[in-house]
Structure 1
Amino acid sequence: MEDALTEIPPPSRFFEEDLNNFTPPSIPLPSPFLVFSNPRPNEPLRPSLLILAISSPSLYVFHQLSSKILIGSLILPEIPFSGNSIEPSLGDKSCNIYTLNDADDSIILISVQCSVAAERSHIVAKLLIGDQIIPDRVLILDSVQSQNFRGKLSPDETYSFKLETASERKGLGDSTLLKGIDYFPSGSVVDGLAAALLGRCQMNNIKGTLCVSWPEFGGAVVSLVKSLLQRNVLPSLDLSINGDAGNEYSRFSWTKDHPFDSELYT
């Protein structure tokens, strides 16, 4: 007599696509949208520079900037508001939009403090660089993901690399945004929201630069990012960090969601 527990079951008489017919389709997520504190219908924002801070170090540097003014937010329906503070905080899961020059909105900063799923990256990029925000130039700040990097990255050393759109690379010499930074090594990959944003710039013929730094967390890489911004991008702004920066950044680093990399602890 055959043992029903150990006997290999017969193959299914249904194809996989037939089995899916019995599963109700998943409800599509609502589309993300932008909300502005002082909306201007039919009049998009046209900053000379749009900065998108995605990496932990860049978020921390701009959080310390007291002169920025909150003008709007990107709302992702899948990100709950519970746990967010009334005033913008590093611990919030939010995507706030600031102006760094209130007179004419010449520089706009977007702090992306929430995780954007890969399948939502393109629709979010289209919102941030689209009909309502039309920048002349874009700077994206993200971190190097060790699993996407071709080569060995030491956790004790800091690195920065860049990728540029064709229109940005044509402006050789002093007209390029980030000078003295090596290009991202061939064979290495950038994905997610940062890649979608740079691709959006390329499609719209916008001067765009993606700067990635390593490691993902730590005081040394914060200093590196701050130095790059002061030297090349925002020389007139005070990006100094107060005395309690180390403790606050340490707490932020451990609470921010990020993939675990076992090589950092071996």
Structure 2
Amino acid sequence: MEDVLTDIPPPSRFFQEDLNNFTLPSPPLPSPFLLFSQNPNGAAAEMPLRPSLLIVALSSPSLHLFHSVSYKTLIGTLILPETPFSGNSIDPSLKDKSCNIYSLPNPQTPESPTLLVSFQCPIGAERCHAVAKLLTSNQIFPQRVLILDSVQTLNFRGRLSKDEAAAFKLETTAERKAPSLKLEYFPSASVVDGLGAALLAACEIKNIRAALCMTWPQLGALVLSLIRSHILPAFDLELSIDSVCEDYVILGQDKDHRHPFDSDMYT
């Protein structure tokens, strides 16, 4: 008599990929959304917002720089349902996993202040286009967009010195007619991906003036100074910035010395 517990079961009549047909698909993630507490003028939020300039901070230097701006006003946040809020502080902190939205007063256009979106948590590749669409339509209609991102060595074709800061740009067709940034274009055959690329594509489709600024190195005082002295003034931004944290400069030096990749191998 056969022992059903110990005998080797007969081979399955299904291919391995066919077995997935009997499992329920994972439920789709809820869509990201914007939550506002007040509009840039301090009153109840009136949609849509039409900022003269929308700044999207993705790189570590830009996040640190705008975190040190003393007169920004928190007006809302971008909610990603898959990102937990546990561990976040009550007051905005660089250690939080958040996507906060701030208002920066602009003396030249007081009725249309500058908006800043500070991304302090990673955005998955499958969510980038949804987030980009959220920031350029429905509730926010920016006249111009500035995206601050970092050069990723694995995506860059060329030589980069760890002792010198560098910045490159990509821009939409509308921005190219009257460019604000006097920078070299991102080298041919180099790749830009993630939220920065998705935002630039969304702005191109909507005919919005937009510039994507890629800076190097990814950390440190050199690139911090480059953004503050050369990139932001091109958009008529004069920021009142508190003292720069020395811990950030030390962190940038340590990260550079421990970096396992050498960009020269991609030339």
The TM-score range, normalised by the shorter chain, is 0.7 to 0.9
The alignment partner of 1:156 has SS state of: coil
Whole-Å separation in 1 of the counterparts to 2:234 and 2:96: 29
Pick aligned residue for 1:97 from 91, 101, 109? 101
Identify if the C-alpha distance between structure 1 residues 263 and 11 changes in structure 2 by more than 3 Å, giving closer, same or farther: farther
How far does residue 12 in structure 1 lie from its aligned partner after superposition? 6.8
Whole-Å separation in 1 of the counterparts to 2:254 and 2:22: 43
Deviates more, 1:18-27 or 1:58-67: 18-27
Residue aligning to 2:260: 262
Residue aligning to 2:3: none
Identify if the C-alpha distance between structure 1 residues 136 and 142 changes in structure 2 by more than 3 Å, giving closer, same or farther: same
Asked whether the 8 Å contact 1:32–1:75 carries over to 2, the reply is: yes
Q: Which runs of 5+ in 2 are unaligned?
A: 1-9, 263-267
Deviations 1:33-91 (A, max 9, x none): 10001266763000111000000000111111011111000011111111111000111
1:204 and 2:202 correspond:
no
How far does residue 104 in structure 1 lie from its aligned partner after superposition? 2.4
Whole-Å separation in 2 of the counterparts to 1:33 and 1:77: 9
Asked whether the 8 Å contact 1:72–1:96 carries over to 2, the reply is: yes
> Hey, which bits of structure 1, 4+ residues long, moved more than 3 A?
10-13, 39-42, 248-255
How far does residue 236 in structure 1 lie from its aligned partner after superposition? 3.1
1:64 and 2:68 correspond:
yes
Asked whether the 8 Å contact 1:31–1:76 carries over to 2, the reply is: yes
Structure 1 letter corresponding to 2:123: V
Provide the alpha-carbon RMSD of the alignment. 2.6
Asked whether the 8 Å contact 1:219–1:246 carries over to 2, the reply is: no
The alignment partner of 1:263 has SS state of: coil
Structure 2 letter corresponding to 1:50: L
Q: Which runs of 5+ in 1 are unaligned?
A: 1-9
Identify if the C-alpha distance between structure 1 residues 11 and 207 changes in structure 2 by more than 3 Å, giving closer, same or farther: farther
Residue aligning to 2:231: 229
Deviates more, 1:227-236 or 1:195-204: 227-236
The alignment partner of 2:29 has SS state of: coil
Whole-Å separation in 2 of the counterparts to 1:104 and 1:117: 34
Q: How do 1:1-266 and structure 2 match up within 5 A?
A: 13-38=13-38, 43-101=47-105, 103-171=110-178, 176-179=179-182, 181-239=183-241, 241-242=242-243, 245-248=245-248, 250=250, 261-263=259-261
Report sequence identity in percent: 57
Asked whether the 8 Å contact 1:91–1:252 carries over to 2, the reply is: no
Whole-Å separation in 2 of the counterparts to 1:123 and 1:198: 13
Structure 1 letter corresponding to 2:227: V
Structure 1 letter corresponding to 2:24: P
The alignment partner of 1:262 has SS state of: coil
Q: Taking structure 1 as the reference length, what is the TM-score of the superposition?
A: 0.84
Identify if the C-alpha distance between structure 1 residues 191 and 98 changes in structure 2 by more than 3 Å, giving closer, same or farther: same
Whole-Å separation in 2 of the counterparts to 1:79 and 1:124: 14
Whole-Å separation in 1 of the counterparts to 2:223 and 2:158: 19
Identify if the C-alpha distance between structure 1 residues 42 and 100 changes in structure 2 by more than 3 Å, giving closer, same or farther: closer
The alignment partner of 2:261 has SS state of: helix
Whole-Å separation in 2 of the counterparts to 1:75 and 1:126: 14
Deviations 1:201-228 (A, max 9, x none): 0000000100000111111111111112
Whole-Å separation in 2 of the counterparts to 1:253 and 1:85: 27
